[in-house]
Amino acid sequence: MNTVADFNFNHKKALIRVDFNVPLNDRFEITDDTRIRAALPTIQKILKDNGSVILMSHLGRPKNGPEEKFSLKHLVPHLSRQLSIQVKFADDCIGSQAVELASGLQPGEVLLLENLRYYPQETKGDREFAKALSGLGDVYVNDAFGTAHRAHASTAIIASFFKEKVAGYVMEAELDNASKVLQDGEKPLTAIMGGAKISDKILVIEQLLDKVDSLIVGGGMSYTFFKALGGQIGNSLVEEDKLELARHIIKKAKAKGVDLLLPKDSVIADSFSNEANQQIVDNYAIPEGWMGLDIGPEARVVFGNVIKDSRTILWNGPMGVFEFPNFAHGTISIAESVVAATNKGAYSLIGGGDSAAAVNSLGFGDQVSYVSTGGGALLEYMEGN
């Protein structure tokens, strides 16, 4: 795979697909700039080569054309500070203004285009839309790992209109780090799967059972396993149509000699609220009217010991309702165990999405081996897609 490192961008206009789908608050301020910072080395390499940069991205999921809260113009001040230059902005991603600003771009300059998804053609993979975008640059760079699993106009279709096309440093690093788990993972190898639904993770779990020594399951999906095993789970989240699938995973793990660990206990609540009444119970005996919202203290210790003895760790998905501080302790505990293992020399890959947000918000981002910028993209890659 050719990357930006293999290419000289002198006097070239690089059209880069980045993933600047960052969270904004009510004042349109960036609350987590991980994805922007990840793209900086690719941008800086091109500028250092005396090239110019045209950035294209989506932000959120606008339904009916332009919306203020989804405008990429809100990223311009922060991006300008990060690059120490004034980033130009086109208030459309195609059309006369975009063409004019792109054609007038000088070496060392950066132009950010407006949100690609203001056009439904982007997600439909429309060839004419991709062709219009391609006219803005000389070289195509794909550095948007977070959307690499989508056959969208700017991520897949556009490449056919370029002779010169390379991957950015983010794309390269994501694939390198995923292979450190999938191909080269040192034993013992532990995967930690959290989140709400088995159905979201089933394909990757199936793949991982061929590679891991231990599979830790937490979060909402664990209650489907407990119900499948005959447990009383109260009002906890459950996928009734996946009970047989849960039993299949348990059986398959046993057949392959994989230690499948479910949380022994839960912090349960009498409503889905941070202020709900709480108690700690065994996961086979959650009373009616109560729901599991976090792994309990016993589970934290058991999981923590397995993680700390591991040499390779993959973590995707929180252990509870992490956005409620009273039910975030399990996820925090897992994060601390992953950091402790990494400090002892283990390799740790944090899957994107909620687990990446958890690790970054706790300030642990630089204490693990790699934090992926892609949630669904990493899972699909690990599924073998």
CB of 259 closer than 8 Å to CB of 187:
no
CB distance 157 to 130 below 8 Å:
yes
Question: Residue holding tokens 């998804």?
Answer: 117
376 is catalytic: yes
DSSP 188-211: SEEEEE-SS-HHHHHHHHHHHTTT
Catalytic residue among 35, 45, 211, 242: 35
Q: Is 353 a catalytic residue?
A: yes
Place of tokens 């204490």: 367
Catalytic residue flag (residue 35): yes
**Cα–chain-centroid distance for residue 6?**
27
257: annotated active-site residue: no
For residue 266, what are the β-bridge partners?
Answer: 281, 295
Of the residues 197, 252, 264, 311, which is catalytic? 197
Q: Kindly report the backbone phi and psi dihedral angles of residue 79, in degrees, each rounded to the nearest multiple of 5, phi listed first.
A: -65, -40
Residue with tokens 């059309």: 95
Of 73, 95, 63, 66, which Cα lies nearest the Cα of 24?
A: 73
Residue 168 is given by DSSP the state -
- Per annotation, catalytic residue among 195, 353, 374, 375: 353
Backbone torsions φ then ψ of 94, nearest 5 degrees: -130, 180
Catalogue the active-site residues: 35, 197, 353, 376
